[in-house]
């Protein structure tokens, strides 16, 4: 079975070409082209260090400007071809570990910025993979939340405590929607929140994600 990281990469590229380079995304003021450039810099340039190290963000900004001078179609097809051989993202296990959520969320960032988007029907295996990953990665993604957070898989009823508290907010939904929520796309995630009203309001407006 083809890795989800790979299928989401391909789907993201297809959607990017379909909607166009100047369309908005859920990533602040980034356009679709900006998002494609970000993904290319992330896996193809040492200048990507500024993504994780804030004091070096200017280095990454400069690399994004340099990459962004290329034609949009060329950039998309370069992204579609995958990371270069020297990139750690080219190792299958690391590709799964680091690119599954990255490409799924950013694909949805493009899709859900369109006015009449609808949720996709993912396979059971894809939902299971997202659930296994978000229940671990989510702990870091909600660290800034001032309330407890528990995820509930709407399909299986199983739960994952991301941030412990006596009265947590329980976020219920499909793993795909829980993933979008924990990555800070609360307004676009199809989930249900239950818990103390003040805590629910706090989590809804919290700064989540990387």
In the chain, where are the structural domains located? 4-111, 125-204
How many other CB atoms are found less than 10 A from the CB of residue 73? 11
The CATH fold assigned to 125-204 is Nonspecific Lipid-transfer Protein; Chain A (3.30.1050)
Write out the chain's pLDDT in tens, 210 residues.
579 999 999 999 999 999 999 999 999 999 999 999 999 999 998 766 667 767 778 878 888 899 999 999 999 999 999 998 888 888 989 999 999 999 999 999 999 999 989 999 999 999 999 999 999 999 999 999 999 999 999 999 999 999 999 899 999 999 999 999 999 999 999 999 999 999 999 999 999 987
Phi, psi (rounded to 5 degrees) for 85: -60, -35
């Amino acid at each position: 079975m083809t890795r989800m990281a790979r299928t989401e990469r391909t789907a993201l590229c297809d959607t990017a070409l379909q909607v166009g380079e100047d369309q908005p995304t859920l990533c602040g003021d980034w356009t679709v082209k900006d998002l494609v450039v970000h993904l290319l810099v992330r896996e193809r340039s040492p200048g990507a260090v500024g993504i994780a190290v804030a004091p070096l963000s200017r280095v990454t900004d400069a690399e994004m400007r340099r990459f962004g001078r290329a034609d949009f179609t060329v950039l998309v097809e370069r992204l579609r071809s995958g990371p270069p051989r020297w990139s750690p993202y080219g190792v299958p296990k690391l590709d799964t570990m680091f690119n599954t959520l990255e490409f799924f969320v950013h694909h949805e960032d493009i899709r859900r910025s369109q006015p009449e988007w609808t949720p996709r029907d993912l396979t059971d295996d894809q939902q299971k993979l997202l659930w296994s990953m978000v229940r671990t990665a989510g702990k870091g993604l909600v660290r800034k939340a001032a309330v407890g957070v528990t995820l509930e898989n709407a399909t299986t009823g199983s739960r994952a405590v991301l941030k412990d508290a006596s009265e947590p907010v329980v976020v219920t939904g499909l793993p795909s929607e829980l993933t979008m929520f924990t990555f800070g796309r609360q307004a676009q995630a199809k989930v249900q929140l239950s818990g103390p009203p003040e805590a629910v309001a706090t989590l809804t407006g919290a700064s989540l994600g990387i």
